[in-house]
Structure 1
Amino acid sequence: MRILVAEDDTASRLIIEAAVTSLGHECIKAISGEEAWRLFETVDVDVVISDRSMPGMDGIELCRRVRASNKDTYTYFIFLTIFDERADVISGMEAGADDYLFKPLDAGELKLRLHVASRVTALHRQLFRQAAELEQLNRRLFDQSRTDSLTGLGSRLKLNEDLDAIYAQLERYGRSYCAIMCDVDYFKAYNDNEGHLAGDRVLQLVARTLLSTCRNGDQIYRYGGEEFLILLPEQDLEAGLVAANRFRQAIQEIAIPHDGNPANGIVTISAGVASFSEPENKSIEGWLTEADAALYRAKQAGRNRVETHQQPSAVPEPSSKPSLVDIRTTVT
């Protein structure tokens, strides 16, 4: 172990150093409480052996500082005192000390105390490791519960938390948001024809494409099944319409073969757009309902298009049909 000895008396300090090193431990010496504290802040030590009575910073203050430190390991603290100061042992223990030794130093007593210190510090190191592992596990569980396991996008739990934060921002700062509800066209037919595993691969590829098309600050979630939700901060309905068509075009350009899509034989998406700003007298639920209703109109109007809740006749951007590619090389 590495042991810090704080002792202002030279003879006593040399005796303690000789005893500590004879037991196979590393000894660091300080001639005052102030020096001991500086060393403690810069060097990792397992044990502090400190005289209780020193000029300037005494052992009591040093012990209190050691106990209040933010180090992630436990330091065993032993007070040195003379026999007629036995009554002061209680005050030392109340300050945070673990044990005490009487002067003149007895080598056998020191060996016994250091055995105990070794066991206690080892136990604390184990507890610190377990606490760190538990914290990492809790963090992983926290992240996993907020991430959709198939697509890697935000889950419904993450969405609910973010929507609460968005509503608070709308009320406090008057920010505006745009919601884009997306849905894979004829996805049931794709699953029926190709199987659910192929359908899962399509959802993964669609999710990655949407994510790569997002701007910094946009938030994207798997809303359920083949449905995705994208939230755009500080965007009005017109900007949301442009963004939704950009997402639609990005999916179309992948050209995943889809025999169940009668329009063009590839995987496409439809989208509904709705905006929300603080002065509007509606709820978060009402906002998402508007986006969902606009998506429904896009489906009814022929799919592979974008509609808004205020613009039922939005027309998709013109585009040429891309060439088809083998799904085995496109979907991963």
Structure 2
Amino acid sequence: MRVLVAEDDTTARLIIEAAVTSLGHECIVATNGEEAWRLFETADVEVVISDRMMPGMDGIELCRLVRTASKDTYTYFIFLTIFDERPDVISGMEAGADDYLIKPLDPGELKLRLHVASRVTALHRQLFRQAAELEQLNHRLFEQSRTDSLTGLGSRLKLNEDLDAIYTQAERYGRNYCAIMCDVDHFKAYNDSEGHPAGDKVLQVVARTMLNLCRASDQIYRYGGEEFLILLPEQDIKAGLVAARRFRQGVEEMAIPHDGNPGSGIVTISAGVAFFSGPENKSIEAWLKEADAALYRAKQAGRNRVEAHEPPSAMPEPPSQPSLAGIGTS
């Protein structure tokens, strides 16, 4: 162990240092309380042996500082003093000391105290290590619960938390948002023909494609099954339509074969866009229902297209351009 000795008397300090090192421990020494505190702050000390009466900062004040220090290990504190009356012992313990030794130093008593200190500090190190591991585990569980295990996108739990924050920001700061609800076209048919493992792979590819097309501030979630939701902060309906068409085109250009999609023969998505300008106009639930209703209209209109809840007259749905594979229409 590393032992810090605080003793203003030179002879007593040399005796303690020799006794500590003879027991196989590392010893660093300080001639007063202020020096001991500076050494304690910079060194990894397991045990402090301090004289109680010292000029300037005495042992009681040093002990209290040691106990308030924010370190991830426990420091065993021993008073070395000529005071052995019960009130003196109690006041030392109340300051945070673990034990005390009476001057002149008895090497046998020191050996006993350091043996106890070794057990106590080892136990505290184990407890601190276990607490750190538990904190890391809790952090991983926190992140896992907010991440969809298949796609790596935000989960419904993460979505619910973020929607609460969006509501607050819209109410307090007047922030605007667009929601894009996306759905893989004829996904059930793909699962039926290719199998669920292949369907899971398609969802992963679609999720990764859309994630790569998001801005840094956009938030994307797996809404459920083959549905995805993208939330765009500070975007109006026109910008939302532009983003949704970018996502639609990006998935189409992957040209993943899909015999169950009669419109194009490849995997495509449909999307619905809705605008949210604050809780005074509509609730979060109503906003998502508008995006879902727009998605439904996109599917009813032929799939592989984008519809808005309130489409701006200046931005009609443009005709779909041929994909890189030369197939697919809106």
TM-score by length of 2: 0.96
Which residue pairs with 2:31 in the alignment? 31
| Aligned-partner Cα distance in 2 for 1:15–1:86 | 26
> Which stretch shows the higher mean deviation, 75-84 or 26-35?
75-84
| Aligned-partner Cα distance in 1 for 2:279–2:5 | 67
Which residue pairs with 2:221 in the alignment? 221
- Describe how 1:284-323 pairs up with structure 2 within 5 A: 284-311=284-311, 314-323=316-325
How far does residue 317 in structure 1 lie from its aligned partner after superposition? 4.5
How far does residue 84 in structure 1 lie from its aligned partner after superposition? 5.0
Paired amino acid for 2:325: S
Paired amino acid for 1:180: I
Paired amino acid for 1:319: Q
How far does residue 322 in structure 1 lie from its aligned partner after superposition? 3.3
Aligned 8 A contact 1:245 1:316 in 2? no
Which residue pairs with 1:169 in the alignment? 169
| Aligned-partner Cα distance in 2 for 1:194–1:239 | 36
Deviations 1:57-90 (A, max 9, x none): 1111111111101111110000111145553111
| Aligned-partner Cα distance in 2 for 1:147–1:247 | 21
Paired amino acid for 1:320: P
Task: Tell me if 1:75 matches 2:75.
Answer: yes
SS in 2 for 1:320: coil
Paired amino acid for 2:252: Q
| Aligned-partner Cα distance in 1 for 2:220–2:319 | 22
Deviations 1:228-284 (A, max 9, x none): 000000000000000000000000000000001111100000000001012742100
Which residue pairs with 1:257 in the alignment? 257
| Aligned-partner Cα distance in 2 for 1:282–1:230 | 19
Report how many aligned residue pairs link the two structures. Answer: 325
Which residue pairs with 1:13 in the alignment? 13
| Aligned-partner Cα distance in 2 for 1:80–1:272 | 77
Change (3 A) 1:262 1:322: farther
Deviations 1:285-325 (A, max 9, x none): 00000000000000000000000111299524431143289
| Aligned-partner Cα distance in 2 for 1:279–1:10 | 74
Aligned 8 A contact 1:297 1:312 in 2? no
Which residue pairs with 1:205 in the alignment? 205
| Aligned-partner Cα distance in 2 for 1:201–1:279 | 38
> What are the ranges of 5 or more consecutive residues in structure 1 without an aligned counterpart?
326-332
Aligned 8 A contact 1:266 1:324 in 2? no
Aligned 8 A contact 1:291 1:308 in 2? yes
Paired amino acid for 1:315: E
Which residue pairs with 2:111 in the alignment? 111
| Aligned-partner Cα distance in 1 for 2:30–2:179 | 65
Paired amino acid for 1:15: I
SS in 2 for 1:254: coil
Task: Tell me if 1:129 matches 2:120.
Answer: no
| Aligned-partner Cα distance in 2 for 1:156–1:75 | 45
SS in 1 for 2:180: strand
How far does residue 158 in structure 1 lie from its aligned partner after superposition? 0.3
Aligned 8 A contact 1:74 1:121 in 2? yes
Change (3 A) 1:59 1:100: same
Which residue pairs with 2:159 in the alignment? 159
Aligned 8 A contact 1:306 1:316 in 2? no
Paired amino acid for 1:261: N
Which residue pairs with 2:65 in the alignment? 65
| Aligned-partner Cα distance in 2 for 1:28–1:322 | 73
| Aligned-partner Cα distance in 2 for 1:226–1:316 | 25
| Aligned-partner Cα distance in 1 for 2:213–2:131 | 40
| Aligned-partner Cα distance in 2 for 1:75–1:198 | 58
How far does residue 174 in structure 1 lie from its aligned partner after superposition? 0.6
> What are the ranges of 5 or more consecutive residues in structure 2 without an aligned counterpart?
none
Percent identical pairs in the alignment equals 82
How far does residue 204 in structure 1 lie from its aligned partner after superposition? 0.2
- Describe how 1:141-156 pairs up with structure 2 within 5 A: 141-156=141-156
Paired amino acid for 1:36: A
